[in-house]
Amino acid sequence: MIGPTGVVVALVVVTIVAAAVFFVRPSITGGITGKILAFVGLCILPGLCIVMGMSFHMQRSEQTKFCISCHSMEAYGKSLYVDDAKHIPAQHFQNHRVPPEMACYSCHTDYTIFGPLKDKLAGVKRIYLQYVSSPPNPITIAGGFKNAQCLHCHLGARAFEENPVHVSIMDSLTSNQMSCLSSGCHDTAHDVANLSHEKFWKPGT
């Protein structure tokens, strides 16, 4: 069974073969058929390879194991296994309130490459810091964590909307005037500075 990687690699190989033909024998484009083949081999197929490659990389970037493959993210990955229900990311990850294989992306849908241009540029800066300079400590999200990241799942959910505390401040939450995380309600997220004091959950035990 060919996976998504196999499909993209197969397309790329076919395109390489097509491009190689025009590299070795550019004279075959003399006729109308050759011109059409050149358009397909040097414009359509390479363009398709860019689109499919970008789609493949974007989907791979959504995986938890991809996020924590960065050395500076290892502690954040470890924080998903803290055995304490007060730790919001850990509680969501361990109870499958977010898909575990896409845990990071589920709550950081506007982070770096997934966000608008400003976030994408911030992502480029982070790559520079990771590989050329050194990442900031602690790592922070520019502009803070937005409530929209919580509300895209919780808004409309019965347990959330019928909670009297949420009802009384709903406008402040939806307008991002009051933060879900830093207003003292759900304030334990990725407490990486204190991980050494925590007990960890081991899956399957």
List the one residue from 31, 33, 36, 54 that touches other proteins (CB under 8 A).
54
Q: Supply the angle between the helices 45-61 and 4-24 in degrees, to the nearest 10.
A: 150
For residue 70, which of 119, 9, 123, 109 has the smallest C-alpha distance? Answer: 123
Whole-angstrom distance, CA of residue 185 vs CA of residue 145: 14
For residue 190, which of 58, 40, 86 has the smallest C-alpha distance? Answer: 86
| 36: contact with other proteins by CB under 8 A | no
CA 200 to chain centre: 24
When the beta carbons of 35 and 152 are compared against other proteins, the nearer one is 35
Region near other proteins per CB under 8 A, out of 44-52, 143-151, 153-161, 188-196:
44-52
| 9: contact with other proteins by CB under 8 A | yes
Residues 109-128 that bind other proteins (CB under 8 A): 113, 127
Burial of 89 (C-beta count, 10 Å sphere; 0-12/13-18/19+): buried
- Residue 26 C-beta: closest distance to other proteins, Å: 4
Residues engaged in binding other proteins (CB under 8 A): 5, 8-9, 12-13, 15-16, 19-20, 22-23, 26-27, 29, 38, 41-43, 46-47, 49-50, 53-54, 56-57, 60-61, 66, 69-70, 113, 127, 130-131
